[in-house]
A and B are shown apart, each in its own frame.
Chain A
Amino acid sequence: MSNFFEKSDLTRKDVDEIVSETLRNCDDGEIYFENSKSESILLDDNKIKSSNYSSDLGFGFRAVSDEVVAYSHSNEISKEALNDSAKNLKSTLQSIKGTYNHEIPKSNNKFYDDINPIEQKTLDAKLEVLNNVNDYLRKKDSTVKQVTASFSGEQKSIEIIRSGGEALTDVRPLIRFNVSVMLEKNGRKETGVYGIGGRQSYDEYLKNDNWKNVCEEALRIASVNLDSKPAPAGEMKVVLGPGWPAILIHEAIGHGLEGDFNRKKTSAFHDLMGQKVASEGVTIVDDGTIDKRRGSLTIDDEGTPTERTVLIENGILKNFMQDRLNARLMKTKSTGSGRRENYKHIVLPRMRNTMMLSGKQTQDEMIKSVDKGIFAVSFGGGQVDITSGKFVFNCTEAYEIINGKIGSPIKGATLIGDGPSILKEVSMIGNDMMMDPGIGTCGKAGQGVPVGVAQPSILIDKMTVGGTKL
């Protein structure tokens, strides 16, 4: 655990006093200290291209009154910096009369260990794995023209101090291992990318030479794309594979169910609570409590223990995801979804691990039922326009389906749909729910946070596929 005041002129008592005094007439607020250590090691073009270590320390001071948030952050931990921030907050929130809400739920659950993954594997050992990846892929296939492999690891320690002196702490490890390969055959180039990760040590993910499986998967995706044909254009049936394609759920539904957009009534879902928004059998949860997953958190960035929030149950909209501010204004409770990228940013309601639960059908049944459509196995990024509800995502591995059979691979195409109506087009739900491999980062208001997704195979009756072939 970090001692944030060890090398400063601050004592714990000073901090308590400044926080309590500043937040006296506020509805909520806290000071958030963060110490993060991170590394990234990159092999590219046959060489160790970069090896970077970073350490970052700072605090963010937040005062909340009614709907107004005043925020000030600094990377200097000193009495002077804290007092400057307090002065800045008070100047924004003059003549306010709130009552501070001291209530914050408690839990003894922990979803990861207090480890520092950077220190648990030597630099030499990391370099060896990266070089092995490069040699393995280049020997394996003569069409391999470029290999990029990387480790990134982080340990983030936080301490939240609330008015009255209550303190909440968390130590969060996070790692990711990534391989990207580019193939060239007959003048055509294609890439394949695969990665794994989560909140454990590197070696948990690299056991039994698991790096080879990561290489194989990246290579397989690139090889499939080398033989791909132009994608079709227009409306058709789409079968989504299990696991990572659940970023469709994340983009199409997840963002629209975040508390802030609904309090502000800018989400297409804001007046649909209790109504049918998806086909029968569709249940979607956002879960921060899955052991050691990338999107899991013991407590959120306001100190609330995370939970498993049911968003949609059997097609009916049940809950939004809430931080403390939006929960208070919407007269409900925080779901432990208050997150921030780091101390430089304000808290927003965000997703954790967003999952669509299994149904009863098989992927085979879905494919067989489609005369003309596509089978999408993996995706790159996605994006949504919260207000109109329109969302897109980009296929990185997809095939055409003709007369109930999987046909040729097709080139990366964008799929576009309408969030509030897409889940009503789900006509089959598979029995094969799978988590993604632990690679997702969600962006909102300029802040990136690690997230997870999961889903079974699903059949969507109608989506627009953005290929070039009419």
Chain B
Amino acid sequence: MIKDEEYLKSKASYCIDLAKKLGSTDVSVTIGNSISETVSFRNKVLDESNRSDSLAISIETYLGKKKSSISSSNLLDENLKTLIEKCCETTKITPDDEFNSLPDKELLAKNIKDLNLYDQSHIENDKKINYLKELEETASIDKKIINTESGFTENKSNFILANSDGFCNGYKSSSFTASCVTVAKNENSMERDYEFTSKCHLNDISNPSELGKSAAEQTIKKLNPKKIGSDKLSIIFDRRISKGFLSSFSGAISASSIARGTSFLKDKLNQPIFSNSINVIDKPDLIKGMGSKCFDSEGVKTDTLKLVSNGVLNNYLVDTYNGKKLNLKSNGRSGGSTNLYFENGSVSYDDLLKSHSKILYVTETIGHGTNLVTGDYSVGATGFLIENGEFKYPVNEITIAGNFNEMFKKITLANDLDFKYSVNSPTMMIDDMTVAGK
């Protein structure tokens, strides 16, 4: 069983009281417990079972404008005492930083909404095994599939965030995740692809045969890939990939990158950065949302933010420390975005495929070729060549490159937004990208 609220709260107040007694002016404590149970299958037989029970505590102690932190997995009072003493000692010799402080009291979350993030259902390993059996049976129907690997994870967590200004809140959450990776082989090539489902509530996950079928189909489609010649092309990014641009975007508008001056979006507030049809929303209070939060990692209330409207950047993602540096109030985004998404575009998926006579459709990218300082983008890619709206053949061993400043202004979005992840985008097209191949 995961540790209950009462236990976590008593540990938190023990730490706060002790740190105050040792002279700390302010204290903040986060304690979390998470239990997850995973069963993995490979080629229709049990491969691995894994149970993990993790406790974690992190404590920040302040002495005026001085601050330091400790973390541990050992919650015995004796160990906590040693660590808090060490933390207080370290704080004393750490230099002042005028921007160090707990969040403003009036910004702390007061009404904690129930966002239905916790499902107490427990799925026994036997049932996980049945689910995975059905999944792999479906995934391996086609003889071209030579290897299947799948897994089912149930996770339950609980946490408390407390500080010496009286904030003390937390909540439980759960997730149920099933995934499948398949390998297909023929005389010319061997390819891999995947499918997965992850939800807060057990009843909301996809059914196993659907998942297995989808993974197998996507993998087989990739067999016999060709390398295409270097060219300027319009690229369609599958929803798996298009959401990644939003993740880069949220990194570039985090108050820390802005305050440090290491973002290509610095000084772009109130300026157009996307084409004027683009809207970006960050909505923390989505019921059962994968990224939903009642407050941020400092306890600050989170409201829905329209980060971009009609292409114009309205907000940064602001936490207390960097907010003070930038002379901005925290908007509850310490720890980043919540449920971040592009609003739907006006074109259907099918019409997007037909919009040019030759399009590269990207389903996977590899590499870390995103530079948030300059906005330069260059990654390895796998996908399909589309001619006149039809998928012609799979493509691999190519790279695609551009710069976000220009790419963002050339985005066209389809109208197929789906909330599968915590960051979501409809299918996306960007014109005039450089493809390097043969």
Contact = CB atoms under 8 A, between A and B. Distances in A.
Partners in one complex: yes
Interface of A: 7, 44-45, 47-58, 67-76, 85, 88, 91-92, 123-124, 127, 145-146, 182, 184, 188-191, 231, 233-235, 264-266, 268, 344, 346, 380-388, 390-394, 411-418, 464-470
Contacts of A54: 70-72
Given A72-B52, A92-B125, A414-B401, 13 more contacts: A7-B76, A44-B260, A53-B69, A56-B74, A68-B45, A127-B94, A231-B378, A234-B230, A344-B52, A391-B366, A392-B380, A466-B400, A468-B402
Interface in B388-438: 396-403, 434-438
Contacts of A382: 367
Contacts of B246: none
Contact of A265 (B147, B231, B396): B147
B399 A392 contact: yes
Contacts of A58: 73
A388 B437 contact: no
Nearest to B55: A75
Contacts of A52: 68-71
B21 interface: no
B87 interface: yes
Given A75-B54, A266-B192, A392-B366, A55 B83 contact: yes
Contacts, number: 236
Given A92-B49, A466-B436, A392 B379 contact: yes
Given A52-B71, A393-B367, A418 B397 contact: yes
B434 A467 contact: yes
Nearest to A270: B190
Interface stretch (B164-172, B207-215, B297-305, B368-376): B368-376
Interface residues of B, number: 75
A88 B368 CA distance: 39
Given A390-B380, A466-B378, A416 B125 contact: no
A68 B232 CA distance: 49
Given A182-B262, A470-B231, A51 B90 contact: yes
A69 to B, nearest CB: 5
A165 to B, nearest CB: 25
Given A388-B191, A392-B399, A75 B53 contact: yes
A380 B372 CA distance: 14
Interface in B201-219: none
A387 B399 contact: no
B189 interface: yes
A191 B371 CA distance: 10
B26 to A, nearest CB: 16
B436 A57 contact: no
A234 B435 CA distance: 8
Interface of A: prevailing SS? strand
Contact of A68 (B48, B71, B398): B48
Which 5 pairs from chain A and chain B are nearest by CB?
A466-B399, A392-B367, A233-B436, A392-B380, A387-B192
Contacts of B95: 47-48, 127
A55 B189 CA distance: 47
A397 to B, nearest CB: 13
B189 A388 contact: yes
B4 interface: no
A82 to B, nearest CB: 12
* A189, A344, A380 — most chain B CB neighbours (10 Å): A189
Contacts of B83: 53, 55
A264 B48 CA distance: 14
B378 A388 contact: no
Nearest to A92: B49
A387 B51 contact: no
Nearest to B71: A54
B223 to A, nearest CB: 10
A17 to B, nearest CB: 21
B399 A416 contact: yes
A411 B192 CA distance: 31
Contact of B382 (A75, A390, A466): A390
A434 B396 CA distance: 33
A233 B401 contact: yes
B93 A53 contact: no
A320 B402 CA distance: 38
* A231, A414, A464 — most chain B CB neighbours (10 Å): A414
B183 interface: yes
B79 A416 contact: no
